[in-house]
Structure 1
Amino acid sequence: MILGGRRHGLIQARKAAIYTQESLAHALDMDMKTVGTWERGEAEPVPYKRPKLAKLLNVTLAELEVLLAEGTTERPVEPAPAAEVAAPSSEPEPTPRGGWLLPVMVNGRSVLVPLNATTLSTSDLGPLLPPALVAGDEANLPAAGAAEWDAMSPLSRRSLLARGLAASALPALGLDELQRVAEAMADARRYFDGPVLDYFRRQLAACKADDGTLGPAKTLPLVLGVVGAIEEHARDVKPNLRRELLRLGAESAEFAGWLFRDVRDFGRTLYWYDRAMEWAQEAGDTAMQGYVLLKKAQLAFDQREPQQMLTLAQAVQHGPWSLPSRVQAESVQQEARAEVMLGATADAVGPKLDQARQLLGARDDGASTLGAHYNDTLLTMQTAICYTEAGAPRRAVELYDESLVEDRFSPRDYGFFLSLRAGSLALAGEPDEAARTGVESAARADSTSSRRTKQELVRVLEYLRPWTNRPAVTQLREVVAS
């Protein structure tokens, strides 16, 4: 049997597991080009790699064999002539098994719409979408964008669908801008310019704005779409654009790392932080390099690695870069927290926490947006965490009661800090209030898919073991287990 034919099912399984070709190759400890040959149907994974590949793709070995069999034929596949590919056609373009995931605007919100009528009709998106879309008319495109879609060439449509992100505002974009982005995806050296770069900046900004409400499950596919486009085209753009594109790539990869941290996938968190560091180094963005070290210090806290957390936080402060004072403030606070995890008392790190607050109050020149979200309220929350780690949970509860107000946070962040307050209450000997706070936190965690919050609630239940039979604690246990 001669191999040939694109394995769309394998590609869709990879994307559903939120891997790029490069990150999947990294997880398998092999070359990205090899993964590409599998997906093009040019080669087969060696037998000893298949169990790990199936596990990474969240499929059984039998299901993996089906995905691999999809691209086999009895004869080599001949490439279509260039003129045939670009020529207009009235025939619908083939849709891979499972359908494409096309981001579109629904009621002013970007959502991933699978181009598969059966899937749509059984999903909870159905009531939000136009009847023609659910019925499968016009290739499942929203009615508002059908005219513009029809006006595009098949090559441009294929380019948009294959990348799965350039149409994320399809009904809202004008035809000229939509066409420009599609052309840039097809021929980056010729068409990728400043306006296209600005388009990706807007996409990333929109993802960041929605993250705290929508959560990583809905935000990650779009962010990885942006990263994927940058990753694919950085080598092809004009030299004067490459550095700016890599800067955006570093920012996008850092944000992808944070999203994976929120779902507690620490392996992929570290992968994307390393990718952000590499792109920032190539782009000459020294401030981003320091900022990524701060993010790695936060990851070290999640993994309860205080020694690494301490040295990373110190490296942020003493590296060869100029960072906004708010980023410096957070790094000093991280250093203080690492020290209490290593045995220092709350009073001993008091001067460092005072230094962090002074740095936060210092004026920046406004040129950098790094750490723009960091404010006095967040520093207070992190100080409360520090007090809890130092064995002073009552002082932590006082800070939570003072500053943990719902309208100051996104839904996801409010739920996370509620879980920390619950832990402090439990350690302070208030089990019923801790459990009630935990139940409230769990509701936010569920709505925003925050596994980080759920993991904190598991820790709260450990603290509540002495009161395991109290009704409120039983309710929290049931909620966390559901």
Structure 2
Amino acid sequence: MPPRPRSLKQQMDALTAQMREHGATWSQIAADYQLRFTFNPLRGYREAHRYTQSKVVQLWNLRWPDDALSERRLGAWEAWPSATGNEPPLSGLERLARIYQCRAGDLVHGEDHGRDDDHAGGRPATTDGPVPRSALTVTDISSFLGGLPARPPGNGTDRILAVADLREREFGHLVAALTQWADGMKRRDLLAVIASAAAAAHASPLLAHLDGDSLERLALVSRTPSRVDGEAVGHVETILRHAIRQEDILGPQAVLETALAQYGLVRRLLTGVANEDLRHRLMSLLADISRFIGWLLFNSGDFAGAEHYYGQARRAAHEADDDLMSSYVLAQWSHLATWSGDPRLGVEHALGALAWAQRGGSPILIAYANDVGARAYAGVLRRENARNRAKDHARCRTALSAARSGLEGSAEDDPGRSLAYFFGPAMLTLTRALCHLDMREPDSAISCAREAMTSIGTAFSRNLAFGHLYLGRAFAQKREIGQACTELARAAELTDRNRSPRLVAATAEARQALSPWNRTDPLVRLDERLRSYDLPAGRSSSR
């Protein structure tokens, strides 16, 4: 697994590189930095580019030597509007915008005084001329998206892949449309357009199941949170369920924007809810969305971001008095801790997940908590300086046995089944394969991995890929290098479908373990396959 960033600088270096690799603009990265690290816009854009103040000064002075900038002057601009800062001039913002590749207006916070307009609360006056941009209605956005087909072509997996491509083009159309007239809109109207844009995006795989009335209801409650009702919350829950299933197939990049939008929407709806039962339901939903964002960031390799959202999810679950959600969040948090190199924290979270699952009376969540607990104990065994190996070995086996008993005791009406929908005998058997690998029992690992992969559905491409990786690692432990390369090649093919950075990193780690055999023919052929999928390969063919 990749090393955990040791400093904030390393974390931001990796984050910028990762977001740029996945097509993010500088403005999108800067917006993320402002939210994630509470930077103001000027510093947010600088940090997004990973520029030091000295670097910005150097770039400025190369372009405009007759009006030299100093680090002290730039620092004062970035400190504004605090008492220690100075307000940057418009000319300075224009020049910084050229360096940061954005609009000058993006570099400052602006207040919205539109509410002071006498006509702000009323309908626009009827005219024979063009409609002002600030008066655009919910359906006007569709004119910007008219070139998109009403339904994606094909069916099955082909249709899902086509949808992902359509979604990218749809997003580009929407950004261009909003940018075109956002400056002339009052903030409340801009929020209305953003909330209702989905109604015109007929190609969206996450909204295709909602009818016009449902979309209109979502747009309405997003503008007026006090109107939220159970049906509207149900629509958001449905969108989240579809996003979760889509991520199983296409990976985290395909749905992260949707999850973040749902997170913002639910937080907004919570501001206008008076009904206590509805508020608890919304808090549980917020916990689930936060957990899902944590899972997406985990699979994207952003462990610090995942930690943040899992913490948000736990707080929301506790506020909602939701025992089952508390267990589910802690179980996934345990998985993150173990994967990122802290298996003892993984054990701690797994024990908390087990306690809440028992309190909530869900055998399947009890089983899942024991599953991640077994991974954590195996992770402790994997560490070279591990002590009490016999005890951890026994605890790992005990947790696996308890997980199997929990699954056998789970009925269709298990209250936690909708959360742990993915967890069943096949997934547990795959965990057993991983644990046998960490316990240096390759034959048992091969048997479990093969058994699991016969039952894992094709929709779980990431899990299938991990199955092949476990087989490859097991054959490597047995020094059967040809078979190990065959399994890694199969994992690479699945990784090309689900470009989860965590899966990519695991594939690279498995390939690195085969480095002693770099010059052999199986490794040369494997590296050719890896390069064809744009995955990290060794250096065997370049020596």
**TM-score, with structure 1 as normaliser:** 0.74
CA distance in 2, matches of 1:387, 1:400: 10
Counterpart of 1:79 in structure 2 is 114
- The equivalent of 1:268 in structure 2 is 305
CA contact (8 A) 2:334 2:349 kept: yes
Matching residue within 161, 166, 186 for 2:223: 186
> Is the CA contact (8 Å cut-off) linking 2:30 and 2:45 kept in structure 1?
no
The 1:199–1:431 alpha-carbon spacing in structure 2 relative to 1, beyond 3 Å, is same
Q: 1:476 aligns with which of 520, 523, 526?
A: 526
Q: Secondary structure at the match of 1:429?
A: coil
2:494 aligned with 1:444? yes
Other-structure match for 2:540: none
Distance 1:156 1:192, change over 3 A: farther
The aligned counterpart of 1:129 is none
> Pairwise CA RMSD of aligned residues?
3.9
Seen in structure 2, the aligned counterparts of structure 1 residues 210 and 425 have a Cα distance that, compared at 3 Å, is same
Residue 360 (structure 1) aligned to one of 407, 427, 439: 407
1:225 paired with 2:275, answer no
Aligned to 1:394: 443
Q: Which residue of 1 aligns with 2:347?
A: 310
Q: 2:192 matched to which residue of 1?
A: 159
C-alpha change, 1:336 and 1:157, in structure 2 (3 Å) is: closer
Amino acid at match of 1:453: L
Task: Give CA deviations for 1:420-442 in whole Å, capped at 9, x if unaligned.
Answer: 22122212211111112112211
199-208 or 337-346: bigger deviation? 337-346
Which amino acid letter does the alignment assign opposite residue 235 of structure 1? T
Q: What secondary structure does 1:447 align onto?
A: coil
- TM-score, normalised to structure 2, is 0.67
1:282 aligned to which of 298, 319, 324: 319
| Corresponding residue for residue 281 of structure 2 | 244
- Give the aligned partner of residue 7 of structure 2: none
- 2:333 pairs with 1:333: no
For the residue of structure 2 that corresponds to 1:67, the secondary structure is coil
**Residue of structure 2 equivalent to 1:455:** 505
Residues 192 and 222, structure 2, Cα contact 8 Å, conserved in 1: yes
TM-aligned CA distance change 1:437 to 1:178, over 3 Å: same
Post-superposition shift, 1:67?
Answer: 2.7
Tell me what 1:90 maps to.
Answer: 131
The one-letter code matched in structure 2 to 1:27 is R
State the distance in 1 between where 2:318 and 2:27 align. 28
What is the one-letter code of the residue matched to 1:209?
Answer: R
Return closer, same or farther for 1:195/1:14 CA change in 2, 3 Å cut-off: farther
- Helix, strand or coil at the partner of 2:510: helix
Q: CA deviation at 1:318?
A: 3.3
TM superposition shift of 1:25 = 4.6
CA-CA distance at 1:474 after TM superposition? 2.5
Question: Closer, same or farther in 2 for the Cα pair 1:207/1:77, shift >3 Å?
Answer: closer
| Cα pair 1:104 1:113 within 8 Å, conserved | no
Partner of 1:42: none
Larger radius of gyration: 2
2:36 alignment partner in structure 1: 27
- Kindly tell me: are residues 318 and 175 of structure 1, through their superposed partners in 2, closer, same or farther at Cα, counting changes over 3 Å? closer
* Conserved? CA contact 2:472–2:484, under 8 Å: yes
Are the structure 2 counterparts of residues 165 and 301 from structure 1 closer, same or farther at C-alpha, using a change threshold of 3 Å? farther
Deviation per CA, 1:284-312: give whole Å up to 9, x if none: 11221122111111001211212111222
Partner of 2:88 in structure 1?
none
Residue matched to 1:371: 420
Q: Which amino acid aligns with 1:367?
A: P
SS in structure 1 of the partner of residue 167 of structure 2: strand
Paired AA for residue 413 in structure 1? N
Q: One-letter code of the match for 1:286?
A: D
User: 1:376–1:226: structure 2 CA closer, same or farther, 3 Å change rule?
Assistant: same
1:133-152 equivalences in 2 (<5 Å): none
Map residues 292-303 of structure 1 onto 2, 5 A cutoff: 292-303=329-340
Map Cα deviations across residues 169-226 of structure 1 (whole Å, 9 max, x no partner).
667644433322211111111x221221111011011111211112111111111111
SS at match of 2:359: coil
Aligned residues with identical type, % of pairs: 19
CA distance in 1 between counterparts of 2:188 and 2:352 reads 48
Distance in structure 2 (CA, Å) of the matches to 1:268 and 1:460: 25
Displacement of 1:251 in angstroms is 0.9
Counterpart of 2:527, as a letter, is: R
Kindly state the Cα deviation for residue 316 of structure 1 after the two structures are TM-superposed: 2.2
Q: Give the gaps of 5 or more residues in structure 1.
A: 1-11, 39-44, 121-132, 141-153
CA spacing shift, 1:162–1:65, aligned 2, 3 Å: farther
Q: Structure 1 residues 352 and 70, CA, compared in 2 at 3 Å: closer, same or farther? A: closer
